């Protein structure tokens, strides 16, 4: 049985629908990536699942954690889940930490709430957590304020706080976007190690496809409030089927191989107030037919185990030429 299962989740803000029926399952210990451009609903999906959306948001559908329904659950029930069973870390660590409270006290708070630890036990556990996430000399630095740590260290402290409740699922919302490249690599490494050691599941929300493939087993690609493709990392990157996924991959320049002109996806992401008829991607899609512009494709299971929502999926090997290492660049590297 899957750990958390989202069924037909729909969300609208002030009458504007932003999620159009999301179906997602995360298994125990599984790591799944959620990819898409800004405004596609990747963060809203999980905020809705945890009941963290503002009052004006209306939503329907079902989110179950090991069979327990979270939508419209009581406040007390949700508070047990949040931080305890499911923890979330955000993009900007410095704005998620309380600037006027010592780091130790903030960790202490989650340990008290979720594990009922206090006093010396809580302090020892807080130091252990800071050690675990790689804060050097945690014992002496536990009483410092967030501004006395660097951005990468603040993100490590956020991860330590998320781990304080020993969650079954960690939702990481763009955890490395605000960090420098070398620090990003450190945090990705840390997340992978912790997941390996604790066996917790992870949802990694990011627009960085490289980061997603570094830490996830499976990934879902979202566009305009819908999941358009889902598959195992290897399959998805080697053999993307949805034209949007292909476009997204082509748009990212490579660090290896021949230098080339970038291939953008023409047009822009549609405004959720005025979504095109039919498939939301059809105005930007080279394969779109009249049928695409009138009917909405459903997310269908594929023979390889993946799921694709497209009437004209890209056939295999459409992407292969640029992934092969050409002789010219091999010479260069030598």
Partner 1 sequence: MSVLLQASGLCQQYTTGTTLFKHPTVVRAVDSIDLEIREGEIVGIVGESGSGKSTLGRMLLGIEPPYRGELTWRGAPMPAPGTPEWRRLRREMQLIFQDPLAALDRRMTIADQIGEPFEIHGLVPREAIRDRVSELMGKVGLRPDQAGRYPHELSGGQRQRVVIARALAMAPKFLVCDEPVSALDVSIQAQVVNLLYDLQLEEGLTMVFISHDLKVVRNLCDRVVVMYLGRIVEEGPADEIFANPRHPYTQALVSSVPSAGRGHAKRILLQGDPPNPASRPSGCAFHPRCHLADAACKARAPALIRDGHRLAACLKLRAAPNQDQIREIHA
Interaction site with partner 1 (CB under 8 A) = 37-38, 150, 152-153, 180-186, 188-189, 207-211, 213-215, 233-234, 236-238, 247-249, 251-256, 259-266, 268-269, 323, 329, 332-334
Phi, psi of 15 (to 5 degrees): 85, -5
Q: State the nearest-atom distance from the C-beta of 322 to partner 1, in Å.
A: 11
SS3 of 78, please? helix
Q: State the nearest-atom distance from the C-beta of 181 to partner 1, in Å.
A: 5
Nearer Cβ to partner 1 (69/189)? 189
Query: Quick check: 299 and 308 in contact, CB under 8 A?
Result: yes
Nearer Cβ to partner 1 (6/188)? 188
The conformation of residue 272, written as its DSSP 8-state character, comes to: G
Q: State the nearest-atom distance from the C-beta of 179 to partner 1, in Å.
A: 9
Q: Which residues of 291-313 are buried (b: 16+ CB within 10 A; e: fewer)?
A: ebeeebbebeeeeeebbbbbbbb
Nearer Cβ to partner 1 (87/157)? 157
Nearer Cβ to partner 1 (71/144)? 144
Q: State the nearest-atom distance from the C-beta of 255 to partner 1, in Å.
A: 5
Which structure tokens are listed for 276? Answer: 């095109």
* Strand runs labelled E in the chain: 4-13, 16-26, 31-35, 57-65, 68-69, 86-89, 169-173, 201-206, 218-223, 226-232, 300-301, 307-308
Q: State the nearest-atom distance from the C-beta of 297 to partner 1, in Å.
A: 20
Nearer Cβ to partner 1 (38/74)? 38
Instruction: Return d(Cα 150, Cα 34) in angstroms, integer.
Output: 27
């Amino acid at each position: 049985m899957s750990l958390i299962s989202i069924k037909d989740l729909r969300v609208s803000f002030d009458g504007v629908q932003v999620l159009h029926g999301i179906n997602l399952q995360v298994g125990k210990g599984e790591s799944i990536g959620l990819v898409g451009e800004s405004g596609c609903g990747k963060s809203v999906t999980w905020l809705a699942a945890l009941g963290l959306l503002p009052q004006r948001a209306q939503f329907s559908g079902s989110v179950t954690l090991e069979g327990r329904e979270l939508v419209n659950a009581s406040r007390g029930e949700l508070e047990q889940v949040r931080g305890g069973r499911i923890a979330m870390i955000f993009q900007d660590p410095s704005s998620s930490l309380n600037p006027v409270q010592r780091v130790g006290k903030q960790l202490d708070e989650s340990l008290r709430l979720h594990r009922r630890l206090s006093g010396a036990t809580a302090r020892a556990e807080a130091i252990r957590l800071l050690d675990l996430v790689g804060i050097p000399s945690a014992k002496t630095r536990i009483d410092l304020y967030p501004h006395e740590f660097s951005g990468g260290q603040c993100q490590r402290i956020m991860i330590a706080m998320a781990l304080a409740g020993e969650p079954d699922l960690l939702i990481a919302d763009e955890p490395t976007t605000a960090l420098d490249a070398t620090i990003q690599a450190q945090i990705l490494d840390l997340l992978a190690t912790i997941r390996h050691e604790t066996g917790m599941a992870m949802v990694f929300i990011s627009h960085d496809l490289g980061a997603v493939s570094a830490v996830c087993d499976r990934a879902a690609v979202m566009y305009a409030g819908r999941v358009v493709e889902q598959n195992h990392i290897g399959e998805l990157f080697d053999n993307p089927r949805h034209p949007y996924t292909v476009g997204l991959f082509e748009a990212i320049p490579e660090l290896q191989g021949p230098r080339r002109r970038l291939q953008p996806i023409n047009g822009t992401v549609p405004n959720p107030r005025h979504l095109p008829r039919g498939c939301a991607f059809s105005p930007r899609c080279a394969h779109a037919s009249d049928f695409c512009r009138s009917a909405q494709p459903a997310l269908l299971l594929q023979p390889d185990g993946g799921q694709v929502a497209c009437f004209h999926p890209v056939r295999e090997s459409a992407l292969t030429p640029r992934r092969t290492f050409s002789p010219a660049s091999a010479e260069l590297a030598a």
